[in-house]
């Protein structure tokens, strides 16, 4: 589908506008190797970072050579461990490593920096170290805007106490084709919550193709659009799907359940008994739940000057109120949420940047962010996590009905020069949903191709 979109975008409009060709993004296909070529792995600062060795081992386990410096060959990825960078000299050393390396990055290449939390860096190296840690944020967001041909750049910030294993699932995600539309992002990783799976499982190639095997995943709004893609993608990765949507979704909900081999639950998530009914279904039919995806959402756009109470209330009830009620129930005694449970909420770029005509929607989606951050410690107490994805411009039935200029604008104002696909959102949810992702909690990750729109 991406090839179709890319070729469409390469004709007509794009050429008239004189804009550069739209790169075709490499996306995950079952059976494809995780890495498409050699990966440069290096570190700068102190005695070297504490993650480079594990990253190098991961690359070799996945059948690709590790190189220490840029040479003649095209690189699949460049990973620079700056977790011990504390001085401007360390930062300069990173630039010297990166400049020749980015020249060699291939199509859909991956630049990944690993940094320290500024507050941790301050403890060991003072204000200069905190500044250097934060400088990586400006560096990675800038270079992400410079890379071409579908290459991305992201930053994983690791807390002082986190062991190398904490970042495994994130390194895997960012180096792989699963992160095709995640660009210019900064993710914070801490010591994993709860019990990590045995490494043997992680190293098993089959485990990588079906990382959600044995896990029960509920997806709200699963009848169509992004929700249907989430259900399909999580099922592809081994999860048992519980597809939820309003009764009016009818056959499309049944289709999702049948396609994924899961169960369907017709439910108005804003009903007073919705959380009860959902949790009862999960307990009775599936014996529990491992992954809850709060995807259902609606828009009722109107300028604030013309906003009506019913439009405001409907959007807040579906997009935020229902998530709050279900999360409350998940945290209550007797909840079916199992150890290594994962809650993933769908926020939106509008919840971060705001959007004209969407005070209600943006308030609800910002509210989701506030909820995720507030509840992260509560879920951690149960050995679980809660995170959010914030999609940017994603190609759906909804965007297909936009006026052409609006649609083309939305597609183009990001570093990858195209809209994302529903599967891109789904892949990020799958990453958060893995049992190995216990180091990620309270995080908000945009799936937006590094949209220029921000706050």
Catalytic residue numbers read 361
Token pair of 147, please? 């890379």
Our finding on whether 238 is near its own copies (CB under 8 A) is no
Task: Give the residue among 120, 143, 183, 176 at the shortest CA–CA distance from 413.
Answer: 183
CB of 215 to its own copies, least distance (A): 24
Query: Which one, 258 or 406, has the nearer CB to its own copies?
Result: 406
List the one residue out of 100, 53, 56 whose CA is nearest residue 74.
100
- State the nearest-atom distance from the C-beta of 182 to its own copies, in Å: 14
Closer to its own copies at the Cβ: 152 or 233?
152
Nearer to its own copies, 227 or 442 (CB): 442
Q: In what order do the strands lie in the sheet with 152-158?
A: 66-67, 39-43, 75-81, 105-116, 152-158, 186-189
Whole-number Å distance between alpha carbons of 214 and 207: 11
Of 40-48, 121-129, 239-247, 403-411: span binding its own copies (CB under 8 A): 121-129
Rounded CA-CA distance 410/292 in Å is: 29
According to DSSP, residue 193 is labeled: P
Contacts (Cβ under 8 Å, ≥6 apart) of 146: 102
Q: From residue 298 to residue 337, what is the string marking binding to its own copies with x (rule CB under 8 A)? A: -----xxxxx-x--xx--xx--xx--x--xx---------
The one among 36, 52, 59, 133 contacting its own copies by CB under 8 A: 133
Grouping H, G, I as helix, E, B as strand and the rest as coil, residue 187 is: strand
CA distance 126 to 288: 47
Q: Taking CB under 8 A as the rule, does residue 428 contact its own copies?
A: no
Task: Report if residue 359 touches its own copies, rule: CB under 8 A.
Answer: yes
**Residue 268 makes contact with its own copies by CB under 8 A:** no
Binding part of the chain for its own copies, among 220-228, 289-297, 344-352, 422-430 by CB under 8 A, reads 344-352
- Whether 132 and 86 have beta carbons less than 8 Å apart is answered as yes
Comparing CB distances to its own copies, the nearer of 108 and 327 is: 327
Residue 238, C-beta contacts closer than 8 angstroms, at least 6 positions apart: 209, 210, 211, 212, 213, 214, 215
Nearer to its own copies, 186 or 189 (CB): 186
**Locate tokens 């909420």: which residue?**
345
**Which residues inside 167-206 make contact with its own copies, applying CB under 8 A?**
184
Residues comprising the chain, all counted:
455
The span from the CA of 389 to the CA of 55, in Å, is 25
Residue 135 makes contact with its own copies by CB under 8 A: yes
* CB-CB neighbours of 69 under 10 Å: 9
Task: Please identify, using beta-carbon distances, which residue of 10 and 355 lies nearer to its own copies.
Answer: 355
Residue 354 interacting with its own copies (CB under 8 A): yes
Query: Judged by CB under 8 A, does residue 400 bind its own copies?
Result: no
From 356, 398, 406, 409, residue interacting with its own copies (rule: CB under 8 A): 356
CB of 87 to its own copies, least distance (A): 10
φ and ψ of 344, to 5 deg: -125, 120
Q: Provide the minimum distance between the beta carbon of 127 and its own copies in the complex, in angstroms, as a whole number.
A: 5
Find out whether 444 and 390 touch, Cβ atoms under 8 Å: yes
Helix (H) or strand (E) holding 17: helix 13-17
CB of 269 to its own copies, least distance (A): 14
CA triple 119-122-125, angle to 5 deg = 150
How far apart, in Å, do the first and last CA atoms of the chain sit?
31
Q: Are 73 and 43 in contact (CB under 8 A)?
A: no
Residue 214 found at the interface with its own copies (CB under 8 A): no
Interacting residue with its own copies among 1, 8, 57, 119 (CB under 8 A)? 119
For residues 73 to 112, the per-residue mask of contacts with its own copies, x marking binding by CB under 8 A and - elsewhere, is ---------------x--xx--xx-xx--xx---------
Least Å from the CB of residue 177 to its own copies: 23
Instruction: CB nearer to its own copies: give 136 or 264.
Output: 136
362 forms part of the interface with its own copies (CB under 8 A): yes
- Identify the residue among 38, 45, 77, 118 touching its own copies (CB under 8 A): 118
Shortest Å, Cβ 22 to its own copies: 17
């Amino acid at each position: 589908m991406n090839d179709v979109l890319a070729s469409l975008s390469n004709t007509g409009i794009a050429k008239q506008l004189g804009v550069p060709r739209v790169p075709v993004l490499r996306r995950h296909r079952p059976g494809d190797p995780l890495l498409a070529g050699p990966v440069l792995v290096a570190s700068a600062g102190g005695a070297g970072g504490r993650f480079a060795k594990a990253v190098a081992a991961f690359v070799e386990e996945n059948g690709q050579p590790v190189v220490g410096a840029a040479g003649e060959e095209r690189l699949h990825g460049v990973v620079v461990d700056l977790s011990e960078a504390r001085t401007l000299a360390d930062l300069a050393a990173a630039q010297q490593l990166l400049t020749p390396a980015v020249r060699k990055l291939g199509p859909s290449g991956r630049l990944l920096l690993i940094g320290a939390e500024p507050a941790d860096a301050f403890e060991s190296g003072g204000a200069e170290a905190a500044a250097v840690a934060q400088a990586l944020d400006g560096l990675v967001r800038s270079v992400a805007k410079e890379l071409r041909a579908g290459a991305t750049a992201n930053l994983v910030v690791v807390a002082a106490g986190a062991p190398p294993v904490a970042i495994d699932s994130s390194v895997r995600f960012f180096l792989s084709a699963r992160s095709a539309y995640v660009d210019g992002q900064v993710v914070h990783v801490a010591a994993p919550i709860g019990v990590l799976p045995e490494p043997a499982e992680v190293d098993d190639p089959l485990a990588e193709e079906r990382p959600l095997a044995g896990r029960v995943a509920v997806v709200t709004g699963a009848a169509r659009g992004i929700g249907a893609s989430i259900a399909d993608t999580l099922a592809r990765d081994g999860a048992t799907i519980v597809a939820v949507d309003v009764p009016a979704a009818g056959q499309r909900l049944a289709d999702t359940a049948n396609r994924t081999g899961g169960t369907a639950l017709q439910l108005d998530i804003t009903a007073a008994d919705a959380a009860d009914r959902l949790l009862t279904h999960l307990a009775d039919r599936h014996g529990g739940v491992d992954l809850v995806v709060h995807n259902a959402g609606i828009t009722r756009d109107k300028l604030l000057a013309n906003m009506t109470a019913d439009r405001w209330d409907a959007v807040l009830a579906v997009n935020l109120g229902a998530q709050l009620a279900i999360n409350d129930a998940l945290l209550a005694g007797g909840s079916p949420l199992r150890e290594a449970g994962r809650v993933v909420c769908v926020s939106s770029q509008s919840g971060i940047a705001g959007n004209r005509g969407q005070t209600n929607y943006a308030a609800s989606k910002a509210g989701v962010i506030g909820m995720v951050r507030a509840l992260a410690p509560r879920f951690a107490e149960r050995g679980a996590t809660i995170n959010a994805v914030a999609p940017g411009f994603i190609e759906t039935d909804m965007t297909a009905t936009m006026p052409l200029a609006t649609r083309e604008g939305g597609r183009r104002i990001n570093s990858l020069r195209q809209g994302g696909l529903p599967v891109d959102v789904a892949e990020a949810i799958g990453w958060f949903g893995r049992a190995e992702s216990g180091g990620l909690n309270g995080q908000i990750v945009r799936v937006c191709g590094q949209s220029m729109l921000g706050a």
